[in-house]
Amino acid sequence: MLNGLRAGLDDLKRAGCRTVYVDGSFVTAKEVPNDFDVCWEENGVDPLILDPVLLTFDPGRATQKAKYMGEFFPASAIADADGPSFLEFFQTDKESGRRKGIIAIDLGGLE
């Protein structure tokens, strides 16, 4: 899973992405996480360089999971019928509806 996350972050950085946010069981206290979810800032991203898989939202995001073992969404894209962006959605606890923390990664420092 770490290799898939790293590959996705490398592909986003190469396309010009500067910041991503990580959520999912990967950033919980789960001893064995089963997934990760990433949303990424679109500012500065060159769509001609961006891996098209990062914009493939087939059922269950099967294409993304096959390549990266996780899911990637543009941060400003609408997450569900209620209208929050993925960045807002990631910061909401599904059980309680309360705000929660997520992990931000500055891709500028990624080597």
DSSP assignment string, 53-105: GGG---GGGHHHHHHHSSEEEETTSB-STT--BHHHHHTB-TTT--B---EEE
CA distance 103 to 89: 13
Look-up of token digits 């919980």: 28
Cα(97)–Cα(107) distance, integer angstroms: 29
Mean pLDDT of 72-94: 91
Q: Is the pLDDT of residue 107 over 70?
A: yes
Query: In angstroms, rounded to a whole number, what is the distance separating the alpha carbons of residues 16 and 47?
Result: 9
Q: What is the pLDDT of residue 67?
A: 97
Domain that holds residue 49: 2-109
pLDDT digits (tens, 9 = 90+) for 6-61: 999 999 999 999 999 998 766 666 777 778 899 999 999 999 999 999 999 999 99
- Domain count for the chain, please give it: 1
